[in-house]
Amino acid sequence: MQGIDQVPVIVKDLPHTAADFERLGFVVVPGEKYENGVQNAHVKFLDGSKIEFLNPTQAIDAQSLQYMDWLRDGDGAPAFGLYRPGSKNTPPPGVFFDRRPVSPTDKLADFDHPNGAVALSGVWLAGSPAERQLQKLPGAKVVKGAFCAPFGYGTEAVHYKYAEVILLSEGMQLVRHRPIVAVTVTVKSLLALQGFLDGMKQKYRREPGCGRKSFWIETRGLWLEFLER
């Protein structure tokens, strides 16, 4: 496994979600509307990782019905993707594998985020049934340490070449039975990010004590960690 491929987030209001992320300094790329009524949009990064927003407008097939059911408890991320070229492994529950396909419509401007974000580099899981299997995937390395967040802290993570999955207790779930509680976005400079957020009058949090140079913002059913590496 090389890193994070993507995190899909199911949202009730796509235009407002796009506006929220644009205020956080992301370029939001419009997607399309599929035959089953699902509309999407993306936050893309030059390494191929991305956050995808999915908005079901009506229940037409099994997928759109599943998305509509998910929204009964609010916005949030139901799964996440790991990137491994040519992978034929069977993914654990709540995880899928992808190859970071390149879109012919991508433009360099799509990756030029005003907040300095350059990659989707982490997922925080609370009480996921997949956590032990994640440790056994090719390229995985278990790391012990202190991982602090506004919702609690963990002591273990699974590292891949370009990403980490931080493992937390089930009691840290923001909504019951939803293991994905946060994602980490790597930024070039926290100082530059701070200037942007202050200019937008956007509130953010710090979590000192674990040595992670990061800011935290909660939105759309999960926390975003902006991490300077």
Amino acid at 27: V
Give the torsion through C-alpha atoms of 141, 99, 16, 216, to 10 deg.
Answer: 20
Q: Tell how far CA 99 is from the center of its chain.
A: 17
- What is the pLDDT, as a whole number, of residue 99? 84
- Locate the domains of the chain by residue range: 3-228
pLDDT tens per residue, the chain (229 residues)?
Answer: 899 999 999 999 999 999 999 999 999 999 999 999 999 999 999 999 999 999 999 999 999 999 999 999 999 999 999 998 776 678 899 999 988 877 888 999 999 999 999 999 999 999 998 988 999 998 999 999 999 999 999 999 999 999 999 999 999 999 999 999 999 999 999 999 999 999 999 999 999 888 899 999 999 999 999 999 8
In angstroms, the CA 47 to CA 42 distance is 14
- What does the block give as tokens for 118? 């350059």
Residues 6+ apart with CB under 8 A from 110: 27, 29, 44
DSSP 8-class letter at 32: E
Burial of 182 (0-12, 13-18, 19+ CB in 10 A): buried
In this structure, the strands spanning 180-187 and 152-159 are: unpaired
Superfamily of domain 3-228: 2,3-Dihydroxybiphenyl 1,2-Dioxygenase, domain 1 (3.10.180.10)
